[in-house]
A = this chain, B = another copy of it.
Amino acid sequence: MTKGNKFGTHRVIEPEGALPQPAWKIDNTMEIYDNEVLIDVDTLNIDAASMTQIKEQAGGDVEKIKARMKEIVAERGKHHNPETGSGGMLIGTVEQVGEKLTDRDLQPGDKIATLSSLSLTPLQIDEIKEVNTDTDQVKISGKAILFESALYSKLPEDMEDTLALAALDVAGAAAQTAKLVKPGDTVFIIGAGGKSGLLCLHEAKKRAGVSGKVIGISRSDAGCERIKETGLADVVLQGSANEPMNIFEMVEESTDGELCDVTINNVNVPDTEMGSILPTKDGGIVYFFSMATSFTKAALGAEGVGKDVNMIVGNGYTKNHADITLEILRENKTIREIFNRQYV
């Protein structure tokens, strides 16, 4: 087998010297290097922002969605939506393990989920069998390659694969919430009725504790209902993070003018930076998990209103993020039920 680079740079076609994620195009030949893993792909879980964009562009037509997905992979060698810059993840079965990785606990036949984004994973789609635009899950037949530095998780035995996949897709958010929230904090979760939002609600409540306060917001009735169903939010607000002054006033009221220590942005639409910054107190933290976040809008927006907040880029990875996230589905029956109903 040919020797490969740890980060997968041996597969980058253009631009030269780039890493696979930022690269425009990578080589998706399905013959592995010595430090790669070949996967027989079963399901793609397209990132929410990306699926929303593809769906809109296709006017909701399933055949057009399929065509656009194939086109992206043909153009770039990976499912890396050029409009949103985001990917998603996949589940599949290990088919072959490169000779340099034989000491890993990984055998042909193992069912795994990849935790590094589709935006850097060499992918080949033979057929798209089924597109579920509600869950963003797409059944395909095809192959993919895992690089040496890429993250993955063996799928647990005590839950369905699709349930695990739905949660693992947004694993970073809940694990980061667990790290950022301290006892007594007022935590504001934007998009709290969504997939990552619900998982964050659990960790926020657990970490802020009885002396803390958790505020959840969603735009739709259904989203607000899901927040209420969990019983984890002290305050449930209905409104759009695209209307910052409105959000600011609602949060000001629910916190007696104190505003929030930690704000977690879990939405799947653009232009919610100011709706996240304004309700956060000076010295507080804004964690942007949403991939629709604009760097300049956040940086200049905070400066523009003179807010001294710490704004964090939602790294999809943090240590033990897969374990922390799957554990939530074991600890919280309600969230597991909602996930089964909604995202599986």
A151 touches B (CB below 8 Å): yes
Task: List, in ascending order, chain B residues with CB within 8 A of A273's CB.
Answer: 22
Asked if A17 contacts B246 (CB within 8 A), the reply is yes
- For A314, the chain B residues whose CB sits under 8 A away are 299
Could you say which residues of chain B place their CB within 8 Å of the CB of A309? 315
In the assembled complex, the CB of A287 is this many whole angstroms from the nearest CB of chain B, namely 10
Q: A310-B312, A312-B312 are known contacts. Are A303 and B151 too (CB-CB below 8 A)?
A: yes
**The residue from B86, B149, B242, B310 contacting A300, defined by CB atoms under 8 A apart:** B86
Q: Determine the chain B residues whose CB is within 8 A of the CB of A22 once the complex forms.
A: 271, 273-274, 297, 301
Contacts of A288 in B (CB 8 A): 295, 313
User: Does residue A119 face the partner (Cβ distance < 8 Å to B)?
Assistant: yes
> Which of A35-43, A185-193, A316-324 has 4 or more CB atoms under 8 Å from chain B?
A316-324
The answer on a CB contact under 8 Å between A149 and B86 is no
| A310 closest partner in B (C-beta) | B312
CB pair A315 B311 closer than 8 Å: yes
* Chain B residues whose CB sits within 8 angstroms of the CB of A297 once the complex forms: 21-22, 85
Per-position binary interface string of chain A over residues 70-90, scored 1 when its CB falls under 8 Å from any chain B CB and 0 otherwise: 000000000000001111000
The interface size bin for chain A is 35 or more
Asked if A291 contacts B296 (CB within 8 A), the reply is yes
Partner of A306, one of B5, B295, B313, B317: B317
Contacts of A302 in B (CB 8 A): 315-317
**Chain A positions 128-174 with a Cβ under 8 Å from a chain B Cβ:** 149-151, 172
Q: Given the complex of chains A and B, what is the CA–CA distance between A84 and B294 in angstroms?
A: 11
Q: When chains A and B are docked, how far (Å) is the Cα of A311 from the Cα of B291? A: 14
A199 at the interface (CB under 8 A from B): no
CB proximity of A18 to chain B, nearest CB, Å: 8
Determine the chain B residues whose CB is within 8 A of the CB of A31 once the complex forms: none
Residue A116 is within 8 A (CB to CB) of chain B in the complex: yes
With A and B bound together, what is the CA distance between A161 and B66 in angstroms?
59
A-B residue pairs in contact (CB < 8 Å), sample of 28: A5-B245, A9-B245, A17-B244, A19-B274, A21-B297, A21-B300, A21-B305, A22-B273, A85-B295, A85-B296, A116-B304, A149-B304, A150-B304, A150-B306, A172-B303, A288-B295, A288-B313, A295-B298, A298-B313, A299-B316, A302-B315, A303-B315, A307-B315, A307-B317, A308-B318, A309-B315, A311-B313, A311-B315
A→B interface (CB under 8 Å): 5, 7, 9, 17-22, 84-87, 115-117, 119-120, 149-151, 172, 242-246, 271, 273-274, 278, 282, 288, 291, 293-319
